[in-house]
Amino acid sequence: MKIKTLYLAGILLFLFGCNKDALVPIPSAGPSSSFITETNPLGKPSKEIMEGVYQVTSGSDKFGEYMVVKWNPDGILLTCKNGLHFIMKAGHLDSVVFVQGYWRDGYSDATGLCNMYISKSEGGASIVSGAGTTNILIRGAYGDNNNLPDQQLTLQYLRPISDKIKNANFYILGHRAGGRNSDRLPVSENSLAMVKFTQQLGTTGVEVDPRISSDGVAFIYHDADINIRLTQKGPLAGDVSAYTWLQLSTFVRLIHGEKIPSVEELLTYVVDSTELRFVYLDMKSAEAVPVVIPIQQKAIQRAKEKGRDLLIVMGIPNTDVLNALLAYPDYQNVPTLCELSIDDFKQANSVVWAPRWTLGTQNDLVQQVHDLNAKNLAVCWTIDSPGWIRDFLNQGHFDGLLTNYPYVVAYYHYIQE
């Protein structure tokens, strides 16, 4: 019996193992079901009042005891400790605040709609006026998939995000421009659309993967080859760097239809159109180093001119990239992130040290990095399990975490006192 099961499993793996991951669609109750576009936008003081830690007074069996509410440039994120999170929009009509959107489980396919509101007497009036209150009750319901929300969810305001956390220079870094295709997000990894979308997941920075085309254009793409995991099935195949930028632009579309962005396009987009504070260029080839550095410097200059607090660092994942960097004239002035040893970090004059998370919190080395220069940072990659994220935040001294589940990092970060 067991042998037959194994044979069957083997055949199924053979037949379907290379199939694409399915998408988890954004739930919708229909084209006319959203009323949030008819509400008035909330001002910055109102948003600040709403942000904080809430107690889940009904719905805690699913979402846990607490929820963190945090605004982002595109809406409002409600996030829980177990990977469940709400991607919502909010606005007001008179003194009632409406919050509408959907929830998702980052670790499974579960999703559904959510409608909530804050009545005038339960904090709505104070939020809308910007007067401030600590008595906020968010009432509403959530549902499964496209079904109308029918399960009660109530959040009681507990406390604001602590000043210590608000003032901390901590980065929540989204992997592959904010999220992987394997997590079945509605936009493609390493795309401009993902850079925009990921802010709704709570990220404050992104990691992206620069490569170089055969005619010397630096672009963002993770794998070494064109494949159906990352791209819509098209006529090109094989080594992605063997093609010219024109060929890639013409014939390749990412899995959700976006163009492969050039490094320049992506950095310009980050500077001009986002509030992200950190870009980690995780170099996929040493040959790309001398091509990417001028683009990086141009983007840094552009960010300065716009008054943006934005750190753009070139990653050093291996000795090939390190050697290519050291061969670059004036490499000491290139802001870099070193994934190698502390000695390599010093040699490259890096500003960020980024060890693999499996090496542990390494507090002594993190301290050494901070001691070298107060502006130096230490971030850790790529940490995904809620338990580990909690432990690294509670026990480690990192200045940021790179993750595929930024809403989980956001929960454990913002809930700290």
Partner 1 sequence: MGRKLFITLVLVCFTLAVFSQQKDSVKVRLNHYTLTVGGGWTHFINNLEYGDKNIQNNFAGVSFKFYWEPEYRVSLGLESGYYHLFKVKYQAKDNSTAEINRTVVPLLLLVRMRVVDNFYLGAGIGLAFINNKASSGGKELITKTTSMSNYEVSGAYIYPLNKYFLVGGECKVFRFANLNDWMYSIQATFAVKF
Closest contact distance (angstroms) between CB of 299 and partner 1 is: 24
Please pick, from the candidates 1, 2, 4, 19, the single residue that binds partner 1 as defined by CB under 8 A: 19
Beta-bridge mates of residue 126? none
Closest contact distance (angstroms) between CB of 370 and partner 1 is: 46
Chain residues 97-116 in contact with partner 1, contact rule CB under 8 A:
none
CA dist 121 and 340 (Å) reads: 56
Phi, psi of 367, rounded to the nearest 5 degrees? -60, -40
CA dist 416 and 261 (Å) reads: 36
Pairing of β 205-208 and β 52-58? unpaired
Picking from 179, 160, 263, the residue whose alpha carbon sits closest to that of residue 221 is: 263
Using CB under 8 A as the binding rule, whether residue 82 contacts partner 1 is answered as: no
Q: Nearer Cβ to partner 1, position 102 or 243?
A: 243
Q: Are 194 and 179 in contact (CB under 8 A)?
A: yes
Question: Tokens 């008819």 — which residue?
Answer: 38
Chain residues 232-291 in contact with partner 1, contact rule CB under 8 A:
232-239, 242-243, 246-247, 249-253, 257
Closest contact distance (angstroms) between CB of 6 and partner 1 is: 17
Please pick, from the candidates 2, 3, 5, 17, the single residue that binds partner 1 as defined by CB under 8 A: 17
Site stretch for partner 1 (CB under 8 A), options 11-19, 94-102, 138-146, 160-168: 11-19
Q: Nearer Cβ to partner 1, position 34 or 214?
A: 214
CA dist 105 and 27 (Å) reads: 13
Closest contact distance (angstroms) between CB of 247 and partner 1 is: 6
Residue spans of beta strands (DSSP E) within 143-245: 151-159, 171-174, 205-208, 210-212, 218-220, 225-226, 238-239
CA atoms within 13 A on the CB side of 144: 3
Chain residues 292-311 in contact with partner 1, contact rule CB under 8 A:
none
Picking from 238, 247, 281, the residue whose alpha carbon sits closest to that of residue 263 is: 281
Q: Nearer Cβ to partner 1, position 239 or 272?
A: 239
Q: Are 280 and 401 in contact (CB under 8 A)?
A: no
Q: Nearer Cβ to partner 1, position 57 or 250?
A: 250
Q: Nearer Cβ to partner 1, position 97 or 230?
A: 230
Pairing of β 96-105 and β 111-118? antiparallel
Closest contact distance (angstroms) between CB of 204 and partner 1 is: 33
Closest contact distance (angstroms) between CB of 229 and partner 1 is: 10
Q: Nearer Cβ to partner 1, position 243 or 353?
A: 243
Q: Are 107 and 129 in contact (CB under 8 A)?
A: no
Closest contact distance (angstroms) between CB of 194 and partner 1 is: 18
Closest contact distance (angstroms) between CB of 241 and partner 1 is: 10
Site string for partner 1, 192-231 (x = CB under 8 A): ----------------------x----------x-xx--x
CA-derived radius of gyration, the chain: 23
Q: How many CB atoms lie within 10 A of CB 159?
A: 12
Site string for partner 1, 137-156 (x = CB under 8 A): --------------------
Please pick, from the candidates 3, 15, 359, 374, the single residue that binds partner 1 as defined by CB under 8 A: 15
Question: Tokens 């809930």 — which residue?
Answer: 415
Q: Report the C-alpha dihedral over residues 297, 302, 308, 314, rounded to 10 degrees.
A: -20
Closest contact distance (angstroms) between CB of 213 and partner 1 is: 11
Query: Quick one: DSSP state of residue 260?
Result: P
Interface with partner 1: number of residues (CB under 8 A): 28
Q: Nearer Cβ to partner 1, position 129 or 250?
A: 250
Tell me which residues touch partner 1 (CB under 8 A): 14-15, 17-19, 214, 225, 227-228, 231-239, 242-243, 246-247, 249-253, 257
